[in-house]
Amino acid sequence: MMKLLRCQWLRVVCFLWSFSILAEEPFSFEKTPGKLPKTVVPRHYELALKPDLESMSFTGSEVIEIEVLEPVSEVVLNSHNLTIATAHSRSEANGTAASTPRRPDSQAVVPLSSSVRWEEMSLSMDVTNQCVRLRSATALVPGLHYLRLNFSGKISTSPVGMFLIKYKSPSGPKKMIATQFEATDARQVFPCFDEPAFRATFSLTVEVPLGITPVSNMPVARSVISAQASKKVSFLKTPSMPTYLLVLVVGELDYIAGRAGGIDTRVWFTEGKRQQALYALKNSERLLAYYQKYFGVAFPLPKLDHIALPGGFGGAMEHWGAITYNESTVLFDPAVNSQDNKERSFAIMAHEMAHQWFGNLVTMAWWDNLWLNEGFASWMGTKATDFLNPSWNHWLRVDTGKVGLMVLDAQKSTHPIQRPVMSESQIGDSFDGITYQKGMFFIRMLEDYLGEQKFQQGLQSYMKRHAFGNTTTSDLWIELAKSSQQPVTQFAAGWTEQPGLPVILASSTDVGREQVIVLRQERFTLLDPKADPLRWKIPATVAVAGSKGVLAKVLLEDAPITLKLGVGDQAIKLNAGSRGYYRTAYDKPMFERLRRSWTKFPESDQVNFLSDAWAMVETERLRVSDYLDLIPALRKGTSLAVWEQALGSLGTIDALLEGHQFQSHYRRRILSLLQPVLAEIGVQTKAGESPQQELLRAHLIGLLGAFGSPEILAEARRRFAVYLNDPSSLTGALRPTMLRIVGQYASNTDYAKLLGLARAAVLEEESGMLLSALAGASQLDLAGQTLALSLAGDFSPIQSARLVSAISATGRHAPLAWDFMKQHHRELMQLLGGPFINMYAGTTVAGFSDEIHATEYVEFIKANYPPDALAKAEEAADRIRYKAHLKRLISSSIQRWIEPLQTR
């Protein structure tokens, strides 16, 4: 093995000789990619909208102040699914309006109608490019001009552009409206320069019925009663920003208000949810104070709203000054919800609030740098969550996500963090694990490498230098290089501009009583034998069992590094604290030492060791049975994150053993291993225990229940019966866990009861939890009923679409879910609309683990969808192939591990 590696190494060095990474340039408006010509730029939009829920449409008018940079005969704007009735232009010279003041806090002075002469422009739609070309009789000369347009559009039922939300409330069914423009859907609501480098200010006016509240990015400037039973509400002018950050929410809304760091902050909600909003308000105040200090720049708007939407879209969106959330991601009821809900709510708020600076105040120039927004907000949000809630060990729990992420990044279909994107579909595809999680883990490693303080100093300079502007990744590296005096660009380019990740091959030789460690790197791949043999600059760290902290730090590049650490025969581990984004594969002597003493390392290293051991299974350096032999050492362990890491792999193995002759044996052995652990913690919640203990109990019960423990199943049924009469009897982490177990083993009667509860639920979180229980039903006919629910319109579009993915994910009924998808893909895609349909399609085959379905899925997408959909289809197919590969490994090795039980 060692010889082979050396040969490969020489070959790689030759290859690298001719390989170089081209780092990108700092932001330049002219060089920023995009479809719109750079000859005309918007300065200000005076925008008026009037939605009408009866006709599911809206009308609008706008005056856009533009600056013409060189003579043009046409102006190109984005417009999609809009009907533009009229378009006129006027130059500053023939109008009375002065140049619009540029100060972000000032009011616009451009009148919506004027007696001055407007020239009619001809319209030509470019449907393919989602553009409209406006031509005037005479060329527009350089300088300020105004465009005036009247238009109308449709209110969507899926969460793109301006969309409808239907929801249940204590006083009956209700409707409301919200907008979602990221990435390219502002153009579905008003003609605009819909690319992020075209920043402008916005003054929005909306006409709504009396009694209905509109909320937007800025505070209300004035509200005037207009026609019968309606009012015109105008908002203050926004600072300069991209179109995708504009928002409008219109509904029967209530709020609670607070204040932090001189900023008003409110949480908006629909009827009856005041109690669940209190937690978010407190978090907003804490996070505002934290971020103002961290970024060294005051929050740039006069207020920050958080709006809990009862349905609509699935996540949260960082609209400047008015963040929207699916209410299930932000509302929290301490009497009912679990620690997981609590942490998720905090972390999502922390992510979206980080964007208020990183993304909104300073915006990526183009979508190829989406990671600058998302990787950074993910890192910053996790850092803030961890710092403000030290008892949660939040980074540790987030770290367990590396297993799935690194599988994604190790396969053929992966892509660099930064990559060229042009089409709307490619932009949507970029909102993935590589952009968010890999971006986050890379930044964490970079911060660790440069030093926390220097990193913060660099960030603060970056914020100040580029406030209200656009940047590329290069602009950030420039500031970080200044503050750290390190060659950041050269270090980072390998991580952001190359696909994939490295594995450090660690080997040891005993010389006398000392170990000599040799570290070398290669690319970590799964099922991709022809992958380019790339190299990275890896900030490798070394730790020793039983002692805290980092024993050695080295920058591992092309050449192997030899270390003599003077620690005798103690176990040595790489990636101390799990700060690095890389895998480590240990040779036999090192692994043997670690196997005996891995639980003596800090929790972060235990999580990392288990994760790396699993990766050694994936790459056939370790047998599944050897991995499973590590688990008994955890029996006395109480670390939630370490258990989460372990239980995750136990669940994966079980799912891949579905239908296998040894599945029941495997389950029995796991039950015998975990039952004593649960007995130690106790099945019932104890007064005064930590939330982590409560979660660990729920996880153990969840796995034991899923694996068929008769005691747990009986307990779940008992708790469910009580719950039906008294919902307050089942709360916290046990609530979703017990309901999931009831769902899995549901009889027709149980199923009907769960469905009744889901239909009656007022909160998205509650209906989501119950639907998830229904989707786990083992009975084939019940799975069929759940699939039918996805098109019945009883639940929000996002919840409905997710049912198909959830049924597939169980693996049990993957073929049923896939058949349903093939039959109804158009209706299912319509539920979601927007940029995420390529990713959604892949989730409907997530339960497969065989090559045939991987191929079939790609062929289906090729036959039914545009070529742009193929990249995400290949990714989903790779995931299936990975599971097929893992299934083979498990099947060939599991017998050895279960044999002790069989012979008993």
Positions marked active-site = 352
**Residue 436 per-residue DSSP state:** I
CA dist., res. 872 & res. 425, Å (int): 10
Q: Rounded to the nearest whole angstrom, what is the least distance from the CB of residue 318 to Zn ion in the complex?
A: 6
d(C-alpha 114, C-alpha 425), whole Å: 40
Scored b (16 or more CB within 10 A) or e, 673-697 reads: ebeebbeebeeeeeeeeebbbbbbb
Nearest residue (CB) to Zn ion, 354 versus 646: 354
How far is it, in rounded angstroms, from Cα 701 to Cα 712? 7
DSSP letter, residue 438? I
Q: Are strands 303-309 and 316-317 parallel, antiparallel or unpaired?
A: unpaired
Contacting Zn ion within 490-549 (CB under 5 A): none
Q: Which of residues 175-204 bind Zn ion (CB under 5 A)?
A: none
Residue (of 561, 513, 514) closest to 540 by Cα position: 561
Neighbours of 728 (CB within 10 A): 9
What distances in angstroms separate CA 792 from CA 177, 799, 831, one per listed residue?
Answer: 21, 11, 11
Among residue numbers 347 through 376, which ones bind Zn ion (CB under 5 A)?
374
306 phi and psi angles, rounded to 5 deg: -125, 125
Cα–Cα distance between 181 and 313 in angstroms, integer? 12
Q: Which of 536, 449, 544, 539 is nearest to 494 (CA)?
A: 536
Rounded-to-integer distance, Cα 74 and Cα 123, Å: 10
How far apart are CB 355 and Zn ion at their closest, in Å?
5
User: Site map for Zn ion, 639-668, x if CB under 5 A?
Assistant: ------------------------------
C-beta closer to Zn ion: residue 182 or 343: 182
Comparison of 207 and 374: residue with beta carbon closer to Zn ion: 374
Q: Which is nearer to Zn ion, 377 or 701 (CB)?
A: 377
Name the residue number minimizing CB distance to Zn ion. Answer: 377
Does 377 participate in binding Zn ion (rule CB under 5 A)?
yes
Query: Interface mask (CB under 5 A) for Zn ion, residues 745-774, using x and -?
Result: ------------------------------
Residue located via tokens 């109008």:
95
Nearer to Zn ion (CB atom), residue 354 or residue 787: 354
| Minimum CB distance to Zn ion, residue 382 (Å) | 12
d(CA 778, CA 744): 5
Whole-number Å distance between alpha carbons of 478 and 181: 31
- d(CA 821, CA 829) in angstroms, rounded, equals 10
Give min distance, CB of 414 to Zn ion, in A: 21
443 binds Zn ion (CB under 5 A): no
388-407 footprint of Zn ion as x/- string (CB under 5 A) = --------------------
Stretch that binds Zn ion, among 198-206, 377-385, 458-466, 689-697 (CB under 5 A): 377-385
d(CA 469, CA 363): 6
- Cβ closest to Zn ion, residue 267 vs residue 377: 377
Pick the closest to residue 303 from 235, 252, 242, 244 (CA basis): 235
Contact flag: residue 804 with Zn ion (CB under 5 A): no
| φ/ψ of residue 422, rounded to 5 | -130, -50
Residue (377 or 846) nearer to Zn ion, CB: 377
Helix axes 734-744, 748-760, angle to 10 degrees: 140
Shortest gap between Cβ of 696 and Zn ion (angstroms)? Answer: 29
Query: SS3 for 432?
Result: coil
| CB closer to Zn ion out of 63 and 377 | 377
Helix axes 640-656, 691-706, angle to 10 degrees: 10
Distance, in Å, from the CA atom of 309 to the CA atom of 374, rounded to the nearest integer, reads 22
CB 380, CB 461: distance < 8 Å: no
Task: Rank residues 195 and 374 by Cβ distance to Zn ion and give the closer one.
Answer: 374
Angstrom distance (rounded) from CA 853 to CA 541: 41
State in angstroms the smallest separation of the CB of 347 from Zn ion: 11
Question: Nearest distance from residue 375's CB to Zn ion, in Å?
Answer: 9
Q: Which is nearer to Zn ion, 301 or 353 (CB)?
A: 353
| Rounded-to-integer distance, Cα 817 and Cα 40, Å | 49
Q: Least distance (Å) from Zn ion to the CB of residue 432?
A: 12
- Give CB contacts under 8 A, 24+ apart, made by 617-622: 617/886, 617/889, 618/407, 618/410, 618/526, 618/882, 618/885, 618/886, 618/889, 619/503, 619/524, 619/526, 619/585, 620/889, 621/585, 622/591
Tell me how far CA of residue 217 lies from CA of 111, 234, 304, 321, 876, in angstroms. 21, 11, 8, 5, 37
At its nearest, how many Å lie between Zn ion and the CB of residue 439?
A: 10
Min CB(52)–Zn ion separation in Å:
32
Number of residues this chain uses to bind Zn ion (CB under 5 A): 2
In the complex, least distance from residue 373 CB atom to Zn ion, rounded to whole angstroms: 6
Q: Which is nearer to Zn ion, 374 or 875 (CB)?
A: 374
Interface pattern 235-254 for Zn ion (x via CB under 5 A): --------------------
Q: Where are the alpha helices (DSSP H) in 296-413?
A: 339-357, 370-388, 394-399, 402-410
By CB under 5 A, name the binding residues for Zn ion.
374, 377
